[in-house]
Chain A
Amino acid sequence: MRCKVPGKHSVFWKLACLLVAFCLLMIWLSWSWGRYMDKRTGYLTELAQSTLVRYAGEAERAWETGQQAGVDQWLQKMGRKEPGWIGVVGQDLQALSSYPLSETESQRMTFLRGLDWPISHVRTARPWIKVPFPKDTSAGYLIIELPQRFMPGHSQLIWRILTNGVIPGLFTLLLCVGLYRLLIVPLNHLREQASAWRADQLGTRLSSQTTSRQDELGDLGRAFDQMSERLQSTVNQQQQLLRDLSHELRTPLSRLRVACDSEQDLEALRERLGREVDGMQRLVEDTLQLAWLDAERGPLPVEDIQIQALWEMLTENAGFESGWPQSRLPCFVEADCWVRGHLNSLAQALENILRNAIRHSPAEGTVSLNGQREGEMWHLWLDDQGGGVAPEELERIFAPFTRLDGSRPGDGGFGLGLSIARNALRLQGGSLWAENVGPGLRVHIRLPASSGQS
């Protein structure tokens, strides 16, 4: 399976950048802070240093004033103050006091630490610090086991928790908030929208904040909005259709009521009944047809259709119905005009257009079919010699139950014919529109040309 690289505006890049940056930040933070903390806490504090230097000064003074005995005295005094080992040694690392160094003590003299050396906090043993006499550094050293209170790394644990636990935790929390705002908030908007639909508020739309996003969530939001628009228009259409239909049914029903109430002879009543029932049946069939065409989404099965043959078939019917001779319904399309379409719905569409044209033609008028090939399409047009329609009505005549009165004579149907025709043509990949030419109306049809026939 080939993986598709996400688009430039994809949320993938946002997420990837965010997470990579976050990981790098965390690693750098813990590394540099660790180092900083080690540095901060690995050395003796100012206080410790000054205390030790002060001790060294006292030891020097004791040495200068009382030599060995002075040092002994001072050491005794210090022994009470500092519990650790304390000694004063000369340049040769031999004790300046009267107590000689033991074997282990001499050994320890070889790894003494300076005041400014880093002190490991891994080892728990307290290091021995060598502090030279402050006045005459060559005279001797104070050696002292670092007092427990000066051991660095008291705050070590707290700093560890802070740098390795609390601060990364806080950053992660921030990241979560960011991700939530990035990903979940738009989803919540969608949920609110869906809840609004459930409460029958089809008019609600998502905020522009969601729909103007460039990424997938923006796409989702836009798709959601389009869906709600389509849903709303469908519901509106259905309601409109239902209103129109019940209105249309009322007319024949009230005529029947009148016929029922008024006294008429049986034969007339029967004839009238038959007429009204036919009318209502036609209305219901047309409405169902329209509803079906509107609901049908997939393309209809298509076949090659010769327009000339289709026209001959339709004009024979139309001629019978209207009493028009064939000569008034000429076809100027050549025999090589084959289109691809769904025969039944194309025939119905063309028949509706033809009937409409005949109904609105003046006496002795003609209705003609003409056409030309335009690339992969056939462009056909049907001219009548009626009065045309007002320019602002040219689009409205294709809406269901539209009947134009006044200018155009004729009894009219239910105003469903052109609507059915447009839907039928749309379903087979064609289109239908109208324009006024000179005295009449020209209805244009575009249909895919058949590929097989020449």
Chain B
Amino acid sequence: MIENYLQTLMNPVAVSPSRLLAIEDDPVLGAYLHEQLLRCGFEVVWCQNGQEGLARARQEPFDVVLMDILLPGMNGLQVLTQLRQTHALPVILMSALGAEADRISGFQLGADDYLPKPFSMAELRVRIQAILRRVALDRMPRQAPVADGAPGECELFVDEETADVRYGQQWAGLTRSEYRLLDTLQRNPDEVLSKAFLYQQVLQRGYAAHDRSLDMHISQIRRKLKTIGYHTREVRTVWGKGYVLSASDAL
């Protein structure tokens, strides 16, 4: 399993593709999902009811489970509850109910993400990749901070002990979440990280359209970096994709 994850991480065109279990009772949507996910390069098993889905999830190894909430026989939340008693594999709930309460109870039962229907395939793919990537990172031994050259005069000094960053003599005074966010961004310089991944990695929850916590943290990081006079790199918004820490063009 771990080799599998490492391979996925190291080599995007992995020899063994990620295995997904899709539990969706609607034949049209299910078939479309199946076909599209196969086309994305995943290995997909499609079940049409909760009971069967639960049995397969317990017996076979999967990387991610995609599950509808309204299912015949046994609903998605019940499947999730039972699955969580023995397995920790990531679960993405999909539902047309869309109610806030439903989303919250899904997360409380241990869902990793919640996707309201209707959603686009691109959106689903981003969510799946965010979870796969987070799982892979979790299983990897923690790397030493990226050696971006010695912290020079114009570089940000990241202090893991105090969970803060310093530029020159000035501390930015980041909160815990802001630090984790900036740390994640600066470990992947110049790479656009999706919001779904940042939610998974930094805030440890799924991303919803109305959730503005991440944007707010980004806004605060920008303000704090500006206050300590750090302009070498900046957190930029890439519309429709996510955020990236890259050299600012103001210089």
Contacts and interface: CB of A to CB of B under 8 A. Distances in A.
- Main SS class of interface, A: helix
Nearest to B209: A285
B99 interface: yes
Given A277-B118, A316-B237, A348-B210, A309 B99 contact: no
A320 B118 CA distance: 25
8 contacts: A285-B116, A292-B101, A306-B220, A309-B220, A310-B219, A312-B219, A313-B219, A345-B210
Nearest to A285: B98
A441 interface: no
Nearest to B239: A320
B215 A313 contact: yes
B39 interface: no
A429 B127 CA distance: 35
Interface of B: 98-101, 116, 118, 209-213, 215-216, 218-220, 222-223, 237, 239
A309 B239 CA distance: 19
B219 A288 contact: no
Interface string A266-307: 000000000001000100110011001000000000000110
A313 B218 contact: yes
Contact of B223 (A284, A308, A320, A348): A308
Given A277-B118, A281-B118, A310 B100 contact: no
B211 A309 contact: no
A312 B219 CA distance: 7
A258 to B, nearest CB: 22
Lowest 6 CB-CB distances: which A-B pairs, in order? Answer: A313-B219, A347-B212, A309-B219, A313-B215, A312-B219, A344-B210
A312 B210 contact: no
B99 to A, nearest CB: 7
Contact of A310 (B118, B216, B237, B239): B216
A409 B237 CA distance: 30
Contacts of A284: 98
A136 B213 CA distance: 125
B189 to A, nearest CB: 21
A8 to B, nearest CB: 44
Contact of B212 (A292, A308, A320, A344): A344
A343 interface: yes
Contacts of B220: 306, 309
A281 B99 CA distance: 14
B45 to A, nearest CB: 29
A320 B239 CA distance: 8
Contacts of A292: 99-101
A316 B101 CA distance: 30
B118 A313 contact: no
A38 B26 CA distance: 96
Nearest to A316: B237
A205 B216 CA distance: 49
B213 A312 contact: no
Given A306-B220, A313-B215, A313-B216, A288 B210 contact: no
Contacts of B237: 316, 320
Given A309-B220, A309-B223, A344-B212, 20 more contacts: A277-B118, A284-B98, A285-B98, A285-B209, A288-B99, A289-B210, A292-B100, A292-B101, A310-B216, A310-B219, A313-B212, A313-B218, A313-B219, A317-B215, A343-B216, A344-B213, A345-B210, A347-B215, A347-B216, A348-B210
Contacts of A345: 210
A19 to B, nearest CB: 51
